[in-house]
Amino acid sequence: MRRPIAHLTGAAAALAVLVAVSVTVVPGGPTPGEQPPARTPLPGASAGATAAQPGPETTDLPYAFWPVPHGPDGDGTAQPIDLLPVSSAEATALQAAVDRARAAFGLNAVAVGVSADARLGWSGASGPPRDGVTPLSGATPFAIASVTKTFTAAIVLQLVEEGRVDLDAAVTDYLPEVTIARGVTVRQLLSHTSGIADLLAPMRNRLNAEPARVWKPAEVLALLGPSVFAPGTSWGYSNTNYLIAGMIVERVTGHPFGDELARRITGPLNLLGTGIPARGELPYLLGVSWTSAFWTSAMLDSDAADLVRWGDALYGGGILRADSLAQMLDFNEHGYGLGAEQYRFGGLLGYGHSGLLRGYTTLLVHLPEADLTVAVLATGHLFDAAAFLTYAAPGAPSILSLAGELAP
């Protein structure tokens, strides 16, 4: 489920699943696909932040050797990059800023990852050990909630690059049995303009009452009410859109979503801490009912170090061609693209995604002007993850200001 966002347009009030916070969506912004300007210093430590709001191909090759698509401009080569560590003094300062912010926001546990220039990296955590023994770290797994949508959207766009999915084709061309999506296109799924009802309201009580139940997508869809608007006539955030997108991935490829995720993204990028949680290894606070019901809209686990690597690869052209990335970052008036949200931190525009699911709050943001990628993963009460990054105690810098001072 998505991290709640209050939109500058005021349209957020139309969705009961959204809870207003100080993060707001920014309409417009830099033209997708443009080269970012020279690195710009981050705003002052006290600056506030607002969220800018066909069938499978046949092949004679073994599945493991099918080519992952890439293009001449945006690459899409999906090569892992090992970030160099920051200095010990910088690491100490960042850890202290995370500790201060966790205390100020009253969080149970938090992990933060930072990447500067896709070259220098740091990750750390704050909070007591979950098991009473193992300290938290930048490699501690958290449920990433709706940041899962960035992975799902990227895989769908790779299938578009391969000519196996058409963004403007009807969903029922691929899934004729999903009558709830009649008249909806694949693009409308990814952009939340389908009008399909969100799955949270009809599922919430069932998920809590049957925590051990494993839900199948068709079972979830069967519980949904009618669409809330005609396809393409409005905008409304719906986790159901990305559950259906996952179904398209499986139908088109003929493989489980987890296999496609591993082959296309987590394997090539060496994201060892990212994936679908095993039933016996579910993250703290979650039951299999929640992860299976939300599935490709919000089911993945990751850690702070992996998440910034993912942000660098995705938004730096390592996963998608330049034209595909431009479509992902083509934000509508609600600040949403195709699996991406737009943000503003002080004077800097950025993009990424936020997430909220049963006690977990996540934010992944890339600030191209500062060449900075930051991830926050936390458990605790509802809080504004963007404000967390810019929190500055009296006489002490914020996490974001310290990240912006890392050596280029």
> Which pLDDT does position 36 carry in this prediction?
29
Q: 275-288, pLDDT tens digit by residue?
A: 998 755 555 567 78
3-state SS string for the chain: CCCCCCCCCCHHHHCCCCCCCCCCCCCCCCCCCCCCCCCCCCCCCCCCEECCCCCCCCCCCCHHHCCCCCECCCECCCCCCCCEECCHHHHHHHHHHHHHHHHHHCCCEEEEEEEECCCEEEEEEECCCCCCCCCCCCCCCEECHHHHHHHHHHHHHHHHHCCCCCCCCEHHHHCCCCHHHCCCEHHHHHCCCCCCCCCHHHHHHHHHHCCCCCCCHHHHHCCCCCCCCCCCCCCCCCHHHHHHHHHHHHHHHCCCHHHHHHHHHHCCCCCCCCECCCHHHCCCCCCHHHHHHHHHHCCCEECHHHHHHHHHHHHCCCCCCHHHHHHHCCCCCCCECCCCEEEEECCEEEEEEEEEECCEEEEEEEECCCCEEEEEEEECCCCCHHHHHCCCCCCCCCHHHHHHCCCC
- 346 confidence band (pLDDT: 50, 70, 90): confident
Which of 37-46, 220-229, 395-404 is the least confident region?
37-46
Kindly report the pTM of this predicted structure. 0.84
Taking the CA of residue 139 as centre, how many other CA atoms within 13 Å lie in the half-sphere pointing to its CB? 5
What average pLDDT does this structure show over 90-108?
Answer: 96
Predicted local distance difference test score (pLDDT) of residue 280? 52
pLDDT of residue 368: 94
* pLDDT greater than 70 at residue 116: yes
pLDDT band at residue 63 using 50, 70 and 90 as cut-offs: very low
| The CATH number of domain 11-404, selected from 1.20.1270.10, 2.170.190.11, 3.40.710.10, 3.30.70.141 | 3.40.710.10
348 band by pLDDT with thresholds 50, 70 and 90:
confident
pLDDT of res. 236: 97
Bigger pLDDT: 63 vs 290:
290
Residue 215 near residue 292 (C-beta atoms within 8 A): yes
Percent share of the chain, pLDDT over 90:
70
pLDDT of residue 47 exceeding 50, the answer is no
For residues 313-340, give the mean pLDDT: 96
Tell me, what's the pLDDT at 281? 59
Mean pLDDT of 296-301: 96
The closest alpha carbon to 365, from 380, 346, 344, belongs to 344
For CA atoms 267, 166, 176, 298, give the dihedral sign: positive
According to the model, what pLDDT value does residue 62 have?
29
Nearest to 229 by CA among 217, 238, 242, 220: 238
Domain ranges for the chain: 11-404
- pLDDT in the model for residue 336: 97
Bigger pLDDT: 277 or 320?
Answer: 320
Tokens of 251: 């139908």
On the question of pLDDT at 71 being above 60, the answer is no
Best CA proximity match to 242, nearest among 222, 257, 225: 257
Question: pLDDT at residue 272 above 70?
Answer: yes
Least confident window among 135-139, 344-348, 350-354: 344-348
Would you say residue 231 has pLDDT above 90? yes
- What is the crossing angle of helices 239-253 and 148-161, to 10°? 40
Mean pLDDT confidence for 103-116: 96
For range 165-180, the mean pLDDT:
98
What is the C-alpha to C-alpha distance for residues 53 and 391, in angstroms, rounded to an integer?
20
* The pLDDT of residue 220 is above 70: yes
Q: Tell me what the pLDDT averaged over the chain comes to.
A: 82
Distance, in Å, from the CA atom of 130 to the CA atom of 103, rounded to the nearest integer, reads 17
Is residue 70 predicted with pLDDT exceeding 50? Answer: no
- What is the pLDDT at residue 184? 98
Stretch 357-376: mean pLDDT: 94
Beta-strand relationship, 84-85 and 120-126: parallel
**Whether the Cβ atoms of residue 138 and residue 304 lie closer than 8 Å to each other:** yes
> Does the pLDDT of residue 48 top 80, yes or no?
no
| More confident position, 33 or 317 | 317
From CA 352, how far away is CA 25, in angstroms rounded?
A: 12
Among the ranges given (57-66, 151-160, 250-259, 357-366), the one the predictor scored with the smallest mean pLDDT: 57-66
% residues pLDDT > 70 (the chain): 78
According to the model, what pLDDT value does residue 381 have? 75
Q: Whole-angstrom Cα distance, residue 339 to residue 321? A: 16
Q: Each residue of 180-215: pLDDT tens digit?
A: 999 999 999 999 999 999 999 999 999 989 988 999
